[in-house]
Amino acid sequence: MHASPPAPPGRRGRRALIAGTAGLLCAAAVPARARSGAASAPEPARDFGAAPVLAADDVRAFPAAPPGFDTAQAGVPAGRIERFEHDSPVTGTRRAASVYLPPGHSSGRKVPVLYLLHGIGGNHDEWRGYVRAHHILDNLIAAGRARPMIVVMPNGRAQADDRVPPVERLFTPEHVAAFARFEPELLQSLIPAIEATYAADGDRRRRAIAGLSMGGGQALNIGLAHLDRFAWVGAFSPAPNTRPAAQLLPDAEAARRQLALLYLSCGRQDGLIRVPQALRRELQQRGVPHVWNVDEYGHVRESWADNLYHFAQRLFR
């Protein structure tokens, strides 16, 4: 069911677009993909049709991650990334995910699981090849600052042809709808397949979901709608596919009781900050505990890497 690690992504870049589609995505960033192991220069701040409007509490909750937090470090044991395939009842095809196994992991002891979702222009390799999530986790686990965990990085584009489309088709209604269709695939197919293959703990208190941009919206939509499945939810720069706050939180008391952590973040230069800001205000009004971290970046990998660094340290405690 799983094989050798996926090949590093190719040279094709992915550019941010400003576009609208079906009232769901008026804009989202598509970062230029960095090849695995290559340096990634910060992208300029994106203007998503409106300048960010910041409130007094739109500030960092944590200091910036230290230098080298997202690069391989000498003497730090490396986890293993495997290609995992499963049958999807939603697409009728066999679909791929990347699975990070922590250093020293064996089938003898169950460990918690984080489902980590990519952006609208990414795929199951974006968190590894672009954000370098595996290095972040290796370093944290080695330092004793994060619990060993399995990280499942699926392709959140639930359609038969799940390749990244050309940039002119990224924001079509059909492409956006494929991300919404991922919810039943995750719950009905991917999670059971992962738990049947790996030593993945099936307790909701040991299962987390998070994502960046389009994947951040997915993580909120899925995680908050299924608190019986997920106790830990994170959204980094969530895009406008995020459901309205009133739909995400139909029962604030249930959210207060069942959520171990709700983590929201965005960059102060990110025009999409209005999306998590709206949810943040609703959470405050309804008394739902959460983390709100606003960093100095735009809609770029530096923000997502920094927030994975902070989020991972708070999981499964």
pLDDT of residue 35: 31
- What pairing do the DSSP bridges indicate for beta strands 291-295 and 261-267? parallel
pTM over 0.95: no
CB atoms under 10 Å from CB of 92, counted, come to 8
pLDDT digits (tens, 9 = 90+) for 255-294: 999 999 999 999 999 999 999 999 999 999 999 999 999 9
pLDDT digits (tens, 9 = 90+) for 125-182: 999 999 999 999 999 999 999 999 999 999 999 999 999 999 999 999 999 999 999 9
pLDDT digits (tens, 9 = 90+) for 230-251: 999 999 999 999 999 999 999 9
pLDDT of residue 107: 77
82: β partners:
99
Return d(Cα 77, Cα 134) in angstroms, integer. 11
Residues with Cβ within 8 Å of residue 178, at least 6 apart in sequence: 157, 158, 159, 162
Q: What is the mean pLDDT of residues 176-197?
A: 97
In the chain, the percentage of residues whose pLDDT exceeds 90 is 82
Residue 275 CA, distance from chain mean position: 16
Query: Using an 8 Å Cβ cutoff, are 51 and 282 in contact?
Result: no
263: β partners:
234, 291
Query: Using an 8 Å Cβ cutoff, are 111 and 105 in contact?
Result: yes
pLDDT of residue 108: 81
Return d(Cα 190, Cα 86) in angstroms, integer. 7
CB atoms under 10 Å from CB of 196, counted, come to 10
Query: Using an 8 Å Cβ cutoff, are 164 and 121 in contact?
Result: yes
Domain boundaries, the chain: 2-313
Domain at 2-313: CATH architecture: 3-Layer(aba) Sandwich (3.40)
pLDDT digits (tens, 9 = 90+) for 58-108: 999 999 999 999 999 999 999 999 999 999 999 999 999 999 999 999 878
